[in-house]
A and B are shown apart, each in its own frame.
Chain A
Amino acid sequence: MRRQGLEIGQRVLFGAVVAEPRGVLDAGSYRTLRDTLVKIAVDEPLAVIVDLDRLDVPDGSAYALFVSAGDQLTQWPGVPLLLAAENEGQRARVREYHLPRFVIVHTSVSAAVAAIGDPPLRRIARRRLPNALTSSGAARDFVREICAEWRVRVDVDTAVAVVAELVENTLLHTYCAPSLRVELRRDLLTVAVYDDDPEPVRLVERDVAAQRRGGLALVAAYARAWGCAPTPAGGKVVWATLRLSGGE
């Protein structure tokens, strides 16, 4: 007989922490599980892996917990959240609620362990900015802070120039609040700006095209690579990578 509530076991596996929630995930236990995952991540294990096999989720909308917790964990303290489900019933359920669109659900805990560091996400920092003219300057300050804090061997002036263009691009062409993400992995620093409005409104201006060519032409000149991609949330992300000086 399964009693109401949730017990959360933990074990350490190859530097990652595996959380094993047993019981029912519902409105009553949602907060507990979320807080526990954050608490585990604070110690900065390589990853937090959630074994879903013994978790009962009567209302599938509660799966959203893993999306928001994963988001929170990558923001701070910068630890990836991985999911594992061996049990075919559970795998069908998570598919039904589109969880794999947002997070990878590995076929077993060992598959999740094997996936740690692939790609090796080293550090990540995010900042949400308002759709205001001053956000370009705020984004530059943020990048300067992060580069100093991480002691990134990158030309900070270039990173600052890139983020100015990406943020100003969002400010000029949408009404969205730009969301900034700086990622450090291997020998690359990635600066990305998300706008998550499902329907970005384009300002109708004659010189919009020229303006955009301008800003992105500079990004192309400054960065090693850059690109634009749609996001699962329906917005878009424009990113640029800078190579670090010297290998690590």
Chain B
Amino acid sequence: MSAMDDGSPARHALVLHQSSLRHRENTVAWVVDALSRGDKVLHRAADPNRLVDAIGEVAGTAEDSGQLEIVDAHRARTMTDGLPRALHQMFEDLVGRAFDDGYREIVLTADEEAERIMVPEAGDRVAHEHDLDRLAMQPGVHVLCSYDLRVEQPDVVEAVVGVHHRCVDDVLWSARLSGERLLVRGEIDLSNAVRFGSALSAAAAHGVRTVDLREVTVLSAAGTRAFEVTAGFLRERGERLTLANMSPKVRLAAATLLVAGEQVVDVVEPRAER
């Protein structure tokens, strides 16, 4: 599950997956944790019964008490006509009502098809994500988004990754904003360099200048391209991107292709850090 370092759920988390199982496990974990903390859960669902089936009795009880509220995606689509603005208003109202009911934390989740039903236009889904991001900026609101890489258009996924740069879980890598640095884990290669690059450049646009790579185990040549774009963007503004805490293998890749090449990044040795 996408928890921040302090154990609380992320404000606006993204899970990219290639298996419905992974998506369901994540969503169920978020819902179960939220219910056990006493948080309000707003679950957008294409199939209203699916979550209840997955969680069992707990869900039924929570639904009866109003702690779990299932938003039927088809109904939401009819009510908002698939327009992001109307949908945003609807969610603001739902969240406002939950706060009025006395809940201090509100968790929004969705099943696999809900988003695509509520916002059928691919371009609108990116606008919708920006709206959810604004919603998630309110204290106490947490949003879990999930996209199937087999289904969603690559350019939509890239844009969506940028919106979620504070908390992204891709298949092989993940990124978290931690203070002023981006903490990256996993493997950056040809399959995901473009998506990682989206997260990185969005993070840089929001002021991040240091990428902590201590838990990156693979960085292929294609993966280093992701840094080039952001480093180039920063260089034009007279700034530099700093790569910190790399393993020897990852440092060799960065040193060979990024530092030796065009001097676009600073490499900070592990000992110089902290």
Contacts and interface: CB of A to CB of B under 8 A. Distances in A.
A65 interface: no
A214 interface: yes
Interface in B152-209: 172, 187, 189-191
A137 B223 CA distance: 12
A161 B224 CA distance: 13
A222 B218 CA distance: 13
Interface in B95-131: none
Interface string B223-260: 01100000000000000000000010100110011000
A137 B222 contact: no
A68 interface: no
B256 A217 contact: yes
A165 interface: yes
Contacts of A140: 187, 218
Interface in A7-44: none
A25 to B, nearest CB: 45
B220 interface: yes
B252 A168 contact: no
B26 interface: no
Nearest to B252: A221
A161 B253 contact: yes
B222 A168 contact: yes
A241 interface: no
A168 B256 contact: no
Nearest to A171: B190
A157 B221 CA distance: 15
A160 B217 CA distance: 10
Nearest to A168: B190
A217 B189 contact: no
A164 interface: yes
A165 B220 contact: yes
Contacts of B172: 137
A161 B218 contact: yes
A64 interface: no
A168 B221 CA distance: 9
A136 B252 contact: no
Interface string A132-164: 011011001000000000000000011011001
Contacts of B187: 137, 140
Contacts of A137: 172, 187, 189, 191
B242 to A, nearest CB: 21
Contact of A158 (B225, B249, B257): B249
Contact of A161 (B190, B191, B220, B222): B220
A140 B218 CA distance: 10
A217 B172 CA distance: 24
Contacts of A221: 252, 256
B191 A218 contact: no
Residue of B190, B191, B218, B256 most packed against chain A (CB within 10 A): B190
Nearest to A214: B221
A157 B247 contact: yes
Contact of B190 (A133, A160, A217, A218): A133
21 contacts: A133-B190, A134-B191, A136-B220, A137-B187, A137-B189, A140-B187, A157-B217, A157-B247, A160-B218, A161-B218, A161-B220, A161-B253, A164-B218, A165-B221, A168-B222, A211-B225, A215-B222, A218-B220, A218-B256, A221-B252, A222-B249
Interface of A: 133-134, 136-137, 140, 157-158, 160-161, 164-165, 168, 171-172, 211, 214-215, 217-218, 221-222
Closest 9 CB pairs of A and B: A214-B221, A133-B191, A215-B221, A168-B190, A164-B220, A136-B189, A157-B249, A218-B221, A136-B190
Given A133-B190, A134-B191, A211-B221, 19 more contacts: A136-B191, A136-B220, A137-B187, A137-B191, A140-B187, A157-B249, A158-B249, A161-B218, A164-B220, A168-B190, A168-B221, A211-B225, A214-B257, A215-B221, A215-B222, A217-B221, A218-B256, A218-B257, A222-B252
